[in-house]
Structure 1
Amino acid sequence: MIKKWMKSSTIVLTAAVMLLAGCSSSTGTKDTNAGTNAGTKAESNEGSKAEPVTIKVHTWYNLENEKFDVVKQEFEKKHPDIKIEFVSAGDNNATEHLKKVDLAAASGEEMDVIMFSSQTSVVQRVPAGMLEPIDDYLNKECIKFDDEYAVSTQDNGKYYGLPGKSVNFFVAINEDHLKAAGLPIPTDWTWDEYLDYAKKMTKQDGEKKRYGTYFHTWTNPFVMLALANQAENNYLVTDDGKSANITSPALRKSLEIRLQAEKDKSATPYTEVISQKLNYRPQYFNQDASMIATGTFLIAETGGTDKVPATFKSVFAPIPKLNKEDPTRANISSDVLSISSKSKHKEQAFTFIRWFTTEGLMVQGRNIPSWKKANMEEVLDKIIAATPSPEMIDKASLLNFLKNTVMVQAKTPPAYSAEVEKMMQEEFDKMMLQGQDIDKTINTAQEKIQKLVDANQ
């Protein structure tokens, strides 16, 4: 009986060991060469090592400013059997990058890893079969996605990429302008108070004129400011995907914010933003606007760059609330690293995206990762210390924002979200540029988008 028990136990133990052996470390911190093709590691019969595999990583980032040379160096040091070739125009223009990626896919150009600035861009390309599901790779490495990452990339039950930097929306404010207006750093405020701050920091007399704030051209989140950080139904379509969400009180408030700022002349006029094709970076860093609602990807830049030195100190505040009694919330998103379905080196591509979204972002030291196991204060210290002028970044207000804000992720947008946002933007432009009243703007957009939703059911 004992022998029989021992034999059974041995079988169970052996099976458990074999199961564990099938999983590599899921932390991304060990040199496991996870997902690497055995052929790239094995030596041939003659004893010589196989040639390294080169994978192409398509991105929009300025490679020099974002220290992708360090990323390449550190990854290749840890994975000598994989070489990285970054493909980028280097202009930080994610919109133009998407056009080039789509053209490359249509023409059959070789791509391995594609970086997208949002999950919206990912889901728009899944139906076309452009991207490879990575569920099998996650399972092979025993990676439990929700235990590892703060932002989900799931679409229709499958994962089509890993989240890179975490983008939390907050407000960056010129400390000099704040002090000159006699205003404290906001830690808990509403959109009405935001507009009041903007009015008080606006200066239209003297040689150097400025507006209290600047709103950029993106539909999401700048047309839906007060909607984007709601706990539920925080997009132009409801969470269940069955209804347009334009009649939401939070969307109405978002439009009222934009109209009030125009009336107060406390925001850069929308006509100028459109006609002059203004960009938020120069508006803030040239001190043409005192504060901007933006993403945490801007943190490093507030400490200056080699080309744009920091000339003032930035402090940071949470995105304002819709109502005073609401908790302080911020919408959270990320860029996404996906694998091309046509890649000839999918396993090596997965090795790279897993490493980059964990260790790589820490090495890069430019952004806050979506990786839950990252030490947030350590990340901030590294980001700040790596800038030319670390003293220009107020760490205390940054930490206050990160520690005291409930991060809310929007539900994965529908595959037709680009059409939804185009329809909303058209009605918004009529309101801002042609004087269309707010009720007609809301009702027309609701009707148009509902028809689109119904057609896609």
Structure 2
Amino acid sequence: MLDITADAKKLISGQYGDVIKTYKADGDKYFALPYRNDFWVTYYNKDLFKKAGVTMPETMTWDQYEEMAKKLTSGSGSSKVYGTYQHIWRSTIQAIAGAQTGHNLLKPSYSFMAPYYNRALAMQKAGDQMNYGTAKSTQTTYTAQFQTGKAAMMVMGTWAMAANIQAKEKGETKVDWAIAPVPQNKSDESITFGSPTGFAINKNSKHADAAKKFIKWASGKKGAAIVAKVGVVPAYRDDAINKIYFADKGMPSDSISKTAFEPKKVGIEMPQSKSSAQIDKILQEEHDLIMIGDKSVNQGIKEMESRVKELQ
């Protein structure tokens, strides 16, 4: 890829938060620039909350999240409504655990994940969230669970906002929804995780100059305005861009939703290295085995550590 370090260093870093830093490679070089930056929030069904007499707090701890899920769970069989839906991706546990405890998933020391796994398994056992094996075997989608009112809450990436809006415009869902920050270990924290998406240039491109102009436009304020208008979170953020984002018809604009949109820290979902793809595969495989009960939490974590160490 083409080295575009000089262009990257001209960017106003404050408008990108920590996103730019995640694109550093080979020491202090840049070979790509981000144009969007999705991160995770809590989606919730306002009608189901009202029906259960539950109020979404400005910020919530994991203990509060667990308590609310229990209160929001109702019915049985085909009429079952789960308090929350946790998708089958490993990130729903591992990435958020890493971000909130300050650990790097590339380093094979994963005991920090244990409390997050124990909580998820307990909620699954209590019936407050769908059984992992069922969700996987039936290929349950997070959009179907939330948009049909089968789950009162769902921790998911910001990309789902545009999907919810579009579904409502098409008459595919009637769910009145909003967002809140992801649950925290401490009530005064504001830590989530996410992944930026960027553009790079082939170093052998015959149109490198034109590509550079496009990338600088796409990753800058003008590009951010276009991205925000279609309900996608841009990498470049300022007050004007945030206003454009929330001006979209159907976008929740209450104070809690706006708080969720401004997390104090966004940890990277999976740091980049030559072995990232292999580590990701290992972590997902062991995640599956833990969640379906084939391995205990401790056994699964030890196996993750052992397998990842073999790559180093």
TM-score range, shorter chain: 0.7 to 0.9
Q: Deviations over 1:218-265 (max 9, x none)?
A: 22x2131641432622x323xxxxx413122xx111211221121111
Counterpart code for 2:243? E
Deviation at 1:447, TM superposition (A): 1.7
Q: Which residue, 165, 174, 189 being the options, matches 2:36? A: 165
1:440 matched to 2:303? The reply is no
Contact 1:213 1:290 in 2 (8 A): yes
Q: Secondary structure at the match of 1:375?
A: helix
Contact 1:173 1:292 in 2 (8 A): yes
1:109-120 maps to which residues of 2 (within 5 A)?
none
Q: In the alignment, what sits opposite 1:338?
A: 200
Deviation at 1:345, TM superposition (A): 1.3
Counterpart code for 1:229? A
Deviation at 1:396, TM superposition (A): 2.5
Q: Secondary structure at the match of 1:429?
A: helix
- Distance in 1, matches of 2:149 and 2:206, equals 48
User: Residues 360 and 374 of structure 1: is their aligned pair in 2 closer, same or farther, counting only changes over 3 Å?
Assistant: farther
- Distance in 2, matches of 1:230 and 1:396, equals 23
Q: Secondary structure at the match of 1:299?
A: helix
Q: Secondary structure at the match of 1:230?
A: helix
1:407 matched to 2:265? The reply is yes
Contact 2:60 2:183 in 1 (8 A): yes
Contact 2:96 2:192 in 1 (8 A): no
Q: In the alignment, what sits opposite 1:244?
A: 108
1:146 matched to 2:13? The reply is yes
User: Residues 429 and 333 of structure 1: is their aligned pair in 2 closer, same or farther, counting only changes over 3 Å?
Assistant: closer
- Distance in 1, matches of 2:38 and 2:236, equals 12
Deviation at 1:177, TM superposition (A): 0.8
- Distance in 2, matches of 1:374 and 1:340, equals 34
- TM normalised by structure 1 equals 0.61
Contact 1:155 1:412 in 2 (8 A): no
Deviation at 1:206, TM superposition (A): 7.5
Q: In the alignment, what sits opposite 2:145?
A: 283
Counterpart code for 2:161? I
Q: Percent identity?
A: 23
Counterpart code for 1:271? G
1:335-414 maps to which residues of 2 (within 5 A)?
335-358=197-220, 359-364=222-227, 365=229, 366-373=231-238, 375-382=240-247, 384-385=248-249, 390=250, 393-403=252-262, 405-410=263-268, 412-414=271-273
The structure with higher relative contact order (CA 8 Å, sep 6+) is: 2
Q: Secondary structure at the match of 2:34?
A: strand
1:178-327 maps to which residues of 2 (within 5 A)?
178-205=49-76, 208-219=79-90, 221-224=91-94, 226-230=96-100, 232-233=102-103, 235-237=104-106, 243-248=107-112, 251-305=113-167, 306-307=169-170, 309-322=172-185, 324=186, 327=189
Counterpart code for 2:105? L
Q: Deviations over 1:123-147 (max 9, x none)?
A: xxxxxxxx333224x17xx714624
- TM normalised by structure 2 equals 0.87
Q: Secondary structure at the match of 1:448?
A: helix
Q: In the alignment, what sits opposite 1:430?
A: 289
Which consecutive unaligned segments of at least 5 residues does structure 1 have?
1-130, 238-242
Q: Across the two proteins, how many residue pairs are aligned to each other?
A: 303
- Distance in 2, matches of 1:225 and 1:196, equals 22
Q: Secondary structure at the match of 1:211?
A: coil
Contact 2:105 2:271 in 1 (8 A): no
Contact 2:148 2:173 in 1 (8 A): no
Counterpart code for 2:146? Y
Q: Deviations over 1:170-191 (max 9, x none)?
A: 1000001111111111222222
Q: In the alignment, what sits opposite 1:125?
A: none
Q: Secondary structure at the match of 1:278?
A: coil
Which consecutive unaligned segments of at least 5 residues does structure 2 have?
none
Deviation at 1:280, TM superposition (A): 1.2
1:60-79 maps to which residues of 2 (within 5 A)?
none
Counterpart code for 1:328? S
User: Residues 134 and 226 of structure 1: is their aligned pair in 2 closer, same or farther, counting only changes over 3 Å?
Assistant: closer
Aligned-pair Cα RMSD in Å = 2.5
Q: In the alignment, what sits opposite 2:3?
A: 133
- Distance in 2, matches of 1:231 and 1:271, equals 27
Q: Deviations over 1:98-152 (max 9, x none)?
A: xxxxxxxxxxxxxxxxxxxxxxxxxxxxxxxxx333224x17xx71462452312
Contact 1:230 1:408 in 2 (8 A): no
Contact 2:43 2:153 in 1 (8 A): yes
1:451 matched to 2:310? The reply is yes
User: Residues 401 and 274 of structure 1: is their aligned pair in 2 closer, same or farther, counting only changes over 3 Å?
Assistant: same
Q: Secondary structure at the match of 2:272?
A: coil
Q: Deviations over 1:388-410 (max 9, x none)?
A: xx2x734332112234x312333
User: Residues 396 and 373 of structure 1: is their aligned pair in 2 closer, same or farther, counting only changes over 3 Å?
Assistant: closer
Contact 1:302 1:393 in 2 (8 A): no
